[in-house]
Amino acid sequence: MHDAAGWRDEAATRSLLRGWRRAAAIDAATSARAHAALGGDPSAAQWRGFLDLLGLWLGVALLAAGAICFIAANWDEMGKFLRLYGLQALLVAAVIGAARLGLSRLAGQAVLWLAMVLLGGLLALIGQTYQTGADTWELFALWAALSLPWVLAGRHAALWLTWALLLNVALTLWLDVAGHLSQDVALGLLNALLLLAWELAGTRWPEFSGHIGRRLLAFAMIASLSFAAMDDIFGRDRGLHVGLLCWLAMTLVAGLCFLHPRRDLPVLAMLMLGVIAVVTSALAEFVFSGKETAFEMLALAMAVLVQATAAAFVLRRLAREEAA
């Protein structure tokens, strides 16, 4: 796995060199010497590391899908005993396998993720076999609660992101039943807390220092609160716009955090896209009063182009500063 990590680091270094060359920070001769020092194509060891990593996660994903689909396809032929205890046996085997492999190793963490998925299948199977009348959100909430100790023990991005997905689904289904709060606002605040937890965990454990988890959680937060802001703008209630206020606070705080302490251009691009969407919605509702004439549509299109051009200019400038 070390070779695969080295391959990723080498690819990142090559990308950085290309950025410096485009920004004219280094000349062609220096760029050529740097690329020559990095070596040529990936070695056989790097290919083996990459294929090992790909095969491991693809294997556990297919095992989880195969177990669930096998029970679903043979539901009528299998009795309650075989369905329930068969899946429980697979779950116990996955947990034992993860413990034997060790949670400090990637293989053990992958098998623990398999156990986490099988746990959800077992809970769904129990609910389908013994009709208790419980709401669907309770299944996902119980799934998230029972798998939390495994997530804490595994400390892997795949486990944490799967757990975050379970929380999002549970909250969405609960809000469909309760309806006390705007769904977009609630999901945005939840993902903001998850993103904060991810960043704090990254300061202690290197497993959470990667960009993928941060950007996925940031996307969920920005998209939810941007939709909440647009819903407030197009709504007819002129009272306190909670969604709009939450979006504004999120944009300012996230913009400052991902601009200076830990610059992340994709997250900043997402924030700018949210700003473009909300500002365009405000123009459509308050400036043009929701009219759909050709002039208003042309004006809105020009506003989007101006905002997109400004965002591209700012992002390009930030990229040049980062490459310098």
The residue type of 203 is T
Q: Are 212 and 158 in contact (CB under 8 A)?
A: no
Structure tokens at 101: 């492999």
pLDDT higher for 209 or 202? 202
pLDDT digits (tens, 9 = 90+) for 103-157: 888 889 999 999 999 998 888 888 877 776 667 888 899 999 999 999 988 888 8
Buried b / exposed e across 179-199, counting CB within 10 Å, b at 16+? eeebbbbbbbbbbbebbeebb
Spatial CA neighbour of 262 closest among 205, 198, 308: 198
* Cβ-based neighbours of 67, under 8 Å, separated by 6 or more: 87, 90, 118, 121
Contacts of 67-76 with CB under 8 Å at 24 or more apart are 67/118, 67/121, 68/117, 68/121, 71/121, 71/125
Between CA 37 and CA 103 the distance in angstroms is 36
pLDDT digits (tens, 9 = 90+) for 260-274: 777 888 899 999 999
Structure tokens at 109: 């963490």
The residue type of 49 is G
Confidence at residue 37, expressed as pLDDT on a 0 to 100 scale: 65
Q: Is residue 316 part of a domain?
A: yes
Q: Is residue 317 part of a domain?
A: yes
pLDDT digits (tens, 9 = 90+) for 218-232: 999 999 999 999 988
Confidence at residue 97, expressed as pLDDT on a 0 to 100 scale: 92
How many C-beta atoms surround the C-beta of residue 291 within 10 A? 10
Q: Is residue 51 part of a domain?
A: no
Q: Is residue 195 part of a domain?
A: yes
How many C-beta atoms surround the C-beta of residue 62 within 10 A? 11
Q: Is residue 216 part of a domain?
A: yes
pLDDT bucket at 1, cuts 50 / 70 / 90: very low
Q: Is residue 174 part of a domain?
A: no
Q: Is residue 224 part of a domain?
A: yes
Domain that holds residue 267: 181-324
Question: Per the structure, how many domains does the chain have?
Answer: 1
Q: Are 287 and 259 in contact (CB under 8 A)?
A: no
Q: Are 255 and 261 in contact (CB under 8 A)?
A: no
Q: Is residue 275 part of a domain?
A: yes
DSSP 207: G
